[in-house]
A and B are shown apart, each in its own frame.
Chain A
Amino acid sequence: MKWVRATPRFLAQLAERRAWLFIAASMVFWTLLSPLALVWLALWLIDRYQALDKSPAAKRDRRVTRLLRWYPAAWRTRYGYEMAALLHDTIAEGGGGPQLSLNVAKEGLAARLTAPARRDALAGACLGLCSIPLFPQGLVPAIMKLTETPTRSWFLALYLPNPYQWPVIGAMLALGLAMLCAGLRLASGHVIPTRG
């Protein structure tokens, strides 16, 4: 049938037309719309900045709100109100340097990491995945290398040049052990101590 024979040619023509349309649309976007969007974005940001209250008290309010965002919502519900008061006092008396931001960020992230639900998820991920670096990417390639087995299978270290094989095997074993220890420690309810 004539229309059946014509179909592939029609589809090819359509794809070609669509391709040209795509190229044309990309050219329009990158040459015209993208700069326009950037200008619009810049104007919007300038307008927003100009509309902001620039009094010291308002600046302090915004900074305190930003700092508290480091903490998880449940923590903020319990301690956010009173910590905001302390942050206000600290900033007001000149203690609002970068050290304050770093301290709050560090403690906020620690609070997020040790929140019960997050901690359980992290413990599960560590315990569930530690066997991959420990056994198939660490212990098994080490045994294969010691026994000089020619098969490389999917063992990453065995695909590398010879001088890098043992260091990668060692790194995989260390990673697996670290994940196992962290998982066990998190699962037992202890917080992993960090320097501070």
Chain B
Amino acid sequence: MNSELGGLGRFAGPATLILSSLAQGPKHGYAITKDVEAFAGVRLQPGTLYGALSRLEHDGLIEALAGEGRRRPYDITPRGARALEAQLTAQRRVSEVGLRRLSTGLATS
């Protein structure tokens, strides 16, 4: 696993989802939840979302923008984009290998 996101421990999963959502453009908490639910089918609970957001901001992978009332949008930083790319590349490699082995296994059985 990529060390930048791997260092987030249990927040690595939610962090990948959040960064993938922010790769499209800045969003606030509620918009991230809705977007993640739409593209991944995962409902991020508010505690999990803000736990991951605070870690990502602390690690410089996202940045907070000027607020819109009570909602504050976040944007992905260049460092966050690089970390996400590395993470998704690693995940794609794993999924490709897994799927290939699965299809080979199914064909021989």
The interface of chain A, by Cβ under 8 A from chain B, is: 75, 78-79, 81-87, 89-90, 95, 99-100, 103-108, 110-111, 190-191, 193-196
**Contact with B9, one of A103, A106, A193 (Cβ below 8 angstroms):** A193
Residues of chain A within 8 A of B43, CB atoms compared = 95
Q: Are A190 and B9 in contact (CB under 8 A)?
A: yes
15 A-B pairs with CB atoms under 8 Å apart are A79-B53, A81-B72, A82-B72, A84-B70, A85-B29, A85-B71, A86-B49, A86-B50, A89-B30, A105-B47, A106-B47, A111-B54, A190-B9, A191-B9, A194-B10
Residues of chain A within 8 A of B30, CB atoms compared = 85-86, 89-90
Interface of A is mostly: helix
The interface of chain B, by Cβ under 8 A from chain A, is: 7, 9-10, 28-30, 33, 43, 45-51, 53-54, 67, 69-72
How far, in Å, is A98 (CB) from chain B's closest CB? 12
Q: Are B33 and A86 in contact (CB under 8 A)?
A: yes
How far, in Å, is A18 (CB) from chain B's closest CB? 55
Q: Are B46 and A100 in contact (CB under 8 A)?
A: yes
Residues of chain A within 8 A of B10, CB atoms compared = 193-196
